[in-house]
């Protein structure tokens, strides 16, 4: 038997990376999964789940749109009789420009997808999870949201917002048996970090990836997905309102590159 037999689970950002790995692992543990993303690659995720004998359905949505998130929750409830877990994983990086070079439009879009999206997930999924007698909401934050030095300003601020969001939500769900937590990944090889990995490999410097953390390597999407499954499961029944760093130890020191006023990029 799987840990999520009979459970209804939504994963956003499921076309690749952490979202794809999480959707696959939830399905492997018996969950009926709605895999959502604005990229068509979400269909490949669902095909892989089906090939492995799991149950999943794809939805192409904008994770920062309230109407799309509401429709996503409604579909999960219609297809699977309710909702037990929502993993709000979708996000964008929004560039690495410094504060003085980032436009208001970029700020608005990054906050819309990375922060408002998870807020809408909590708003619409939470009451449905309460109806099932409780469950879990997860959000992907980042070590960049813990303190400066691990991402561009807009991205970092949005992820800091996610951390406070899950803390606030945990309090507002008091007495409902709904737990709300965040995962703060470090450097993970995903579509978002592909450029950095490709550049390092092109220069023959792949061995230097992740050298700022004590593990001396980057992480894999499956390593984040396994933490997501733990936090969503009954094994984490007393874990609530927490932002868990999964970063090889990077945030134990959080080394940064010194910056100076006038520098145009992160």
Q: Once rounded to an integer, what is the mean pLDDT over residues 12-16? A: 97
Task: List the catalytic residue out of 87, 155, 197, 238.
Answer: 155
Token code pair at residue 79 = 């297809």
> What's the pLDDT at 266?
45
Q: Could you give the CA distance from residue 255 to residue 253 in angstroms, rounded to a whole number?
A: 6
Average pLDDT, the chain: 91
Give tens-digit pLDDT for 151-172: 899 999 999 999 999 999 999 9
Give tens-digit pLDDT for 128-146: 999 999 999 999 999 999 9
> What's the pLDDT at 56?
98
* Residue 138 DSSP code: E
Report the sign of the C-alpha dihedral through residues 2, 18, 241, 83, in that order: negative
% of the chain with per-residue pLDDT over 90: 76
% of the chain with per-residue pLDDT over 70: 86
Superfamily of domain 8-189+220-245: NAD(P)-binding Rossmann-like Domain (3.40.50.720)
Report the sign of the C-alpha dihedral through residues 173, 175, 180, 181, in that order: positive
Q: Quick check: 7 pLDDT over 50?
A: yes
Name the helix (H) or strand (E) containing 154: helix 153-172
> Cα angle at 17 between 107 and 84, to 5 degrees?
90
List the domain boundaries for the chain. 8-189+220-245
Q: Which residues pair with 243 in a beta bridge?
A: 182
pTM of the predicted protein model: 0.91
> Cα angle at 75 between 72 and 78, to 5 degrees?
155
Radius of gyration of the chain (CA): 18
Name the helix (H) or strand (E) containing 182: strand 178-185
Q: Examine the residue annotation and report whether 155 is marked as an active-site residue of this protein.
A: yes
Give tens-digit pLDDT for 35-87: 999 999 999 999 999 999 999 999 999 999 999 999 999 999 999 999 999 99
Give the number of other Cβ atoms within 10 Å of residue 5's Cβ.
10
Altogether, the residues listed in the chain come to a count of 266
Q: Could you give the CA distance from residue 162 to residue 101 in angstroms, rounded to a whole number?
A: 23
Q: Phi first, then psi: what are they for 87, rounded to 5°?
A: -110, 100
**HEC per residue, 235-250:** HHCCCCCCEEEECCCH
């Amino acid at each position: 038997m799987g840990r999520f037999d009979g459970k209804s689970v939504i994963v956003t950002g499921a076309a690749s990376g952490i979202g794809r790995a999480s959707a696959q692992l939830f399905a492997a543990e018996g969950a009926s999964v709605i895999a959502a993303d604005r990229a068509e690659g979400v269909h490949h995720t669902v095909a892989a789940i089906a090939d492995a004998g799991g149950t999943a359905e794809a939805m192409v949505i904008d994770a920062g749109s309230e109407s799309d998130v509401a429709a996503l929750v409604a579909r999960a409830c219609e297809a699977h009789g309710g909702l037990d877990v929502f993993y709000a994983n979708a996000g964008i990086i929004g560039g690495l420009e410094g504060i003085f070079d980032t436009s208001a439009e970029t700020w608005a879009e990054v906050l819309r997808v990375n922060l408002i999206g998870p807020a809408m997930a909590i708003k619409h999924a939470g009451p449905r999870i309460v109806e099932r007698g409780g469950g879990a909401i997860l959000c992907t934050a980042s070590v960049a949201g813990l303190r400066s030095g691990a991402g561009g300003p807009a991205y970092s601020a949005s992820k800091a917002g996610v951390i406070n969001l899950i803390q606030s939500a945990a309090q507002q769900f008091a007495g409902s048996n709904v737990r709300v937590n965040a995962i703060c990944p470090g450097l993970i090889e995903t579509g978002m970090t592909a450029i950095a990995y490709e550049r390092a490999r092109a220069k023959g410097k792949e061995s230097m990836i992740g050298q700022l953390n004590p593990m001396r390597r980057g992480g894999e999407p499956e390593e984040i997905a396994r933490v997501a499954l733990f936090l969503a499961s009954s094994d984490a029944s007393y874990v609530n309102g927490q932002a868990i760093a999964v970063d090889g130890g990077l945030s134990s020191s959080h080394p940064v590159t010194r910056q100076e006023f006038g520098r145009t990029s992160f």
